[in-house]
Amino acid sequence: MLPEPTERLRFRAMEMADLDDVTALLVAFDAVRGGRPPSTRKDGVHWIEWQERNYAEHGFGLWVVETHDGELVGDCGLTMQDVEGTDLVEVGYHLLPHARGRGYATEAAIAVRDCAAAAGIPHLVALVRPDNAPSQAVARRIGMEVERTAHVHGVDALVFGMRLGVS
């Protein structure tokens, strides 16, 4: 499973050759994760290994998002998340600072949402920190609404969600 390319973006599996870019992405993402020590190259290795496990176990994970010219802008994809004892499929999106504010997150998330629907996933969520307004806006732009608040990965998160496909 891989999302279809969009007008400006394409997707591919994350691999160890992406380590420098993935580490930079995690360092940039630290600002929204709050209260965590800064990410390191070792964290980048773990992130990529997590995606490799996701691809093998679920057929999906976070994919590298790049322009059609090959410029890496971030990652976006699907992961399984334990939300207070319930496994849910989450659309996640993380962009490098230079790529923010250009609509890439929304464009990528729409492609991933559509890929999830085509794969028969019935319900999709996005877990967003209450203070992360840009990520909340992306979730709303792809058709999600706040379903509830939950305690996830040690912090409170808004659980945005939507049903996919025909009910």
* 24-72 confidence digits (pLDDT tens): 998 887 555 556 678 888 999 999 999 999 999 999 999 999 999 999 9
pLDDT single digits (tens) 64-113: 999 999 999 999 999 999 999 999 999 999 999 999 999 999 999 999 99
Domain contains 159: no
Domain contains 35: yes
Stretch (H or E) spanning 108: helix 104-118
Record the tokens describing residue 100, joined without a space: 């923010």
Q: What is the mean pLDDT of residues 113-138?
A: 95
* pLDDT reported for residue 31: 57
Q: What is the mean pLDDT of residues 136-160?
A: 94
Domain contains 18: yes
* pLDDT reported for residue 13: 97
Q: Indicate which CATH number applies to the domain containing 37.
A: 3.40.630.30
DSSP classification of residue 59: S
Domain contains 160: no
Record the tokens describing residue 35, joined without a space: 């209260």
Domain contains 94: yes
pLDDT at residue 16 above 60? Answer: yes
Domain contains 80: yes
* pLDDT reported for residue 30: 59
For the chain, how many structural domains are there in total?
A: 1
* pLDDT reported for residue 28: 82
Identify the domain containing residue 50 by its residue range.
Answer: 9-120
Q: What is the mean pLDDT of residues 151-165?
A: 91
* pLDDT reported for residue 165: 76
Q: Residue 12's pLDDT band (boundaries 50, 70, 90)?
A: very high
> In a 3-state reduction of DSSP, which class is residue 144?
coil
Residue 18 exposed, middle or buried by CB count within 10 Å (0-12, 13-18, 19+): buried
* pLDDT reported for residue 27: 86
* pLDDT reported for residue 100: 92
Domain contains 23: yes
